[in-house]
């Protein structure tokens, strides 16, 4: 029959213990759709948090999940609709034993290190190669305007 296989609850628990994301939860209680905030480690993205959605296939884990960024980001590997260039979750690279936390870790790594090989926006990739200082300035400005506040910024802690 058509049994929908959700990722096991321990995958959500495991992903929740990871420091690279916070506010991780099923969207509207739907275990096939998670949302949360990604917390990049490298400037300029590290000044903000980026809301993402991870949508699992009804054929999980045989088919890969799909990550989308809900927060706008100035990054060559993420298009204007939030689609992400993530080889790990492409049909040809997907391995059913890959866990959700690995998908999120890979996504964060990709955000942290814009790569001119993994590209959905050619013009940004070009800018990063030809005029890196322009790219980083625009990325910083964009992050300031669009990213959500990081949870640690909501606490009254002095910045390091």
What's the half-sphere exposure (Cβ side, CA atoms, 13 Å) at 89?
25
> What are residue 132's phi and psi, to 5 degrees?
-55, -35
**How does 6-26 read in b/e, with b if 16+ C-beta sit within 10 Å?**
ebeeebbeebeebebbeebee
Query: Among residues 6, 22, 66, 85, which one is catalytic?
Result: 85
Preceding omega of 129 cis (within 30 degrees of 0): no
Alpha-carbon Rg for the chain in angstroms: 16
Q: Is 6 assigned a catalytic role?
A: no
Give the residue carrying structure tokens 């955000």. 111
Annotated active-site positions, please? 85
């Amino acid at each position: 029959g058509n049994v929908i296989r959700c990722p096991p609850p321990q995958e959500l628990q495991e992903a929740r213990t990871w420091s690279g994301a916070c506010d991780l939860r099923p969207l509207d209680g739907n275990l096939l759709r998670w949302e949360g905030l990604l917390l990049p480690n490298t400037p300029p993205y590290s000044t903000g948090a980026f809301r993402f959605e991870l949508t699992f296939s009804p054929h999980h884990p045989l088919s890969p999940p799909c990550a989308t960024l809900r927060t706008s980001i100035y990054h060559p590997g993420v298009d204007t609709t939030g689609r992400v260039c993530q080889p790990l979750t492409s049909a040809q690279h997907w391995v059913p034993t890959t866990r959700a936390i690995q998908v999120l870790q890979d996504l964060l790594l990709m955000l942290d290190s814009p790569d001119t090989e993994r590209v959905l926006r050619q013009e940004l990739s070009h800018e990063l190669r030809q005029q890196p200082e322009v790219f980083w300035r625009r990325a910083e400005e964009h992050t300031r305007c669009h990213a959500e506040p990081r949870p640690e910024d909501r606490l009254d802690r002095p910045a390091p």
